Amino acid sequence: MQGLKYAEIGEIMGLAPSTVGEHLSTSRKVATEELKDLAKQLRLIEDGRLEAATEALWEAVEDGDAKAVDSWIKVHNARVKLWGLSEIAEAAPDSVASRLLDMVRAKKAD
């Protein structure tokens, strides 16, 4: 029924065009909510993976391992992007990642 007008669909289905419009509007709303729920579930799954990566790296990060810090920053940035916090992070130059990198550099300098 793609490409048909509401009146044409209504004629085929024995419905008023306004009823067709209501059904389609309701269907779009339901589909939108289902997609939002699916996206939320997928974000939670990915966040769990990023948390596992953080846990795997964290001891080496605390020890000042530069490669681990670099990897952690990438994981952190992926998490920021996943949750839509990119714009906030870009607006804050003193981000968590840059502070952590500064701490590691200071520890290496000691």
Find the domain containing 47 and state its range. Answer: 6-109
* Rounded Cα–Cα distance for residues 39 and 36 (Å): 5
Answer whether residue 68 is part of any domain. Answer: yes
Q: Read off the pTM.
A: 0.63
Higher-confidence residue: 15 or 88?
15
Answer whether residue 46 is part of any domain. Answer: yes
Answer whether residue 1 is part of any domain. Answer: no
Answer whether residue 24 is part of any domain. Answer: yes
How many domains is the chain built from? 1
What is the DSSP annotation of 24-83? HHHHHHHHHHHHHHHHHHHHHHHHHHHHHHHHHHHHHHHTT-HHHHHHHHHHHHHHHHHT
Answer whether residue 87 is part of any domain. Answer: yes
pLDDT digits 0-9 by tens, 48-103: 999 999 999 999 999 999 999 999 999 998 998 898 887 665 666 566 667 777 77
Answer whether residue 29 is part of any domain. Answer: yes
How many CB atoms within 10 Å of residue 52? Answer: 11
